Amino acid sequence: MTVQLTNTQTRDVEALLHPYTNAVTHRATGAHVIERGEGVYVYDDQGNRFLEGMAGLWCCGLGFGDEELIEVAQAQMAKLPYYHLFGGRSHEPAIELAEKIKDLAPGMSRVFYQSSGSEANETQIKLAWYYNNAMGRPDKKKIISRVKGYHGVSIVSASLTGLPYNHKGFDLPVDRIHHTSTPHYFRGAHEGETELEFSTRLAHELEQMILAEGPDTVAAFIAEPVMGAGGVIVPPSGYFEAIGPVLAKYDILCIADEVICGFGRTGEWFGSQRLGMQPTSMSMAKQLTGGYVPLSAVAINADMASVIEGYSGEIGTLGHGFTYGGHPLGCAVGSAAIDIMRRRDIPAHVRSLEGEFQRRLRTYSDNPLVGEARGVGLLGALELTPGGRGTFDPVGKVGAFMAAELLKNGVILRAAGDSIVFCPPMTITADEVEELFAPIENCLNATLHWAKSEGLM
């Protein structure tokens, strides 16, 4: 379908190459141009209001237009708009934020900054390699990630990501990166297998992979406590409790990618706390600054910190760092965001809404289009299927139709394949949760009708 593009849409297609977009269809349909945001809502350039059920890209945990964050950003811009941490320089916002991260993140001892989640995971892998070189284990370099995990799009982080679109056309993944199975009970469990049995089997599979590769060649395991972009996949009970001892047995680092789950999203400060994961290091971004300023952080435990610090002394320097890593604006806003989250006790607020949010999601389980309704905290997904555990062919068309229907009804949600994923601002109220769910039933039914008419089910 070709529509008459507005002037802004014409300028958009003439000037931008869009991420995660089919450039050919985009040229025909035009951009959806968002102009401003307030609370849980955004407004487009035609004056339409939408409830942002994805907090942007899982990042605006405190909603849009928070006055305190805006004031802190303005003040920091005026005082020191830029400085860096290279060569031993420092600044107060970077120190203060690192102290606050250490206070919140159990067992973490040092903080290293970058601007994005991808860069955080890039740093993680480089530090894992550096650490093992320092330890005199030059062969211990392989990384195990998971199918459907999402860790970013730079060359190494995209390789960690276990989704076909991030590899296809880019000659990825690079070597030394391996993927183990997705902990998705609905899709992966054998007939009659309990969640605990499934978890035990996955831990066994991981151990077999480590043994096959050689334990002396495996440096780290990386996982999101709850997989986000892969479709909000909550691990089965006992999963991380089963994985943890396998990693410890072979002296393998455990990296928690908290880029989505961090800062209250699951009802605890970190998803690893909620899901029973015991990381040796953590990646944080997105909600760290409420999404207002690009900033990411890698936190490492005391053992890694002392080895890495010692090695930098030995070889001359820690030869890693980004111009904008620890940007004063990001650090000042991140620091204020943590103050706000503490003052409002965002993890407690998430827990207070979780019961109703998760109950509402599961009410759609009976819809013939919903294979599984799942989630934890204020994260959720409705996996659309043609029936039971079936999958649509092609994948993604039905999800995209449903997301477009929701948009027509004033709600922004995303389709991860054919799963509709939910991640609203954590400041959302009970009434706004109602509003978020209000159009779902009708949109499911419209999508069901359309999918049947298209012969997709």
Q: Which residues are near ligand PMP by CB under 6 A?
A: 57-58, 116-118, 121, 150-152, 224, 228-229, 257, 259-260, 285
Nearest residue by C-beta to ligand PMP? 117
| Cβ(148)–Cβ(230) below 8 Å | yes
Shortest distance in whole angstroms from residue 258 CB to ligand PMP: 8
Shortest distance in whole angstroms from residue 346 CB to ligand PMP: 19
Shortest distance in whole angstroms from residue 330 CB to ligand PMP: 12
Cα–Cα distance list, 235 to 198, 240, 272, 449 (Å) = 10, 8, 11, 32
Instruction: List the Cα angle 303/279/195 in 5-degree steps.
Output: 150
| Closer residue to ligand PMP (CB): 228 or 439 | 228
Question: In the 8-state DSSP scheme, what is residue 234?
Answer: P
| Closer residue to ligand PMP (CB): 282 or 448 | 282
| Closer residue to ligand PMP (CB): 118 or 278 | 118
| Cβ(381)–Cβ(422) below 8 Å | yes
| Closer residue to ligand PMP (CB): 287 or 385 | 287
Place of tokens 């509709």: 420
| Closer residue to ligand PMP (CB): 93 or 262 | 262
Shortest distance in whole angstroms from residue 153 CB to ligand PMP: 6
Shortest distance in whole angstroms from residue 398 CB to ligand PMP: 22
Shortest distance in whole angstroms from residue 156 CB to ligand PMP: 12
Using DSSP's 3-state secondary structure scheme, residue 451 falls into helix
| Closer residue to ligand PMP (CB): 152 or 347 | 152
β-pairing verdict for 414-416 and 419-422: antiparallel
Shortest distance in whole angstroms from residue 295 CB to ligand PMP: 10
Residues 6+ apart with CB under 8 A from 369: 384, 385, 398, 444, 447, 448, 451, 457
Whole-angstrom Cα Rg for the chain: 22
Tokens of 255: 């990296």
| Closer residue to ligand PMP (CB): 122 or 207 | 122
Residues 6+ apart with CB under 8 A from 262: 269, 270, 271, 282, 284, 286, 287, 288
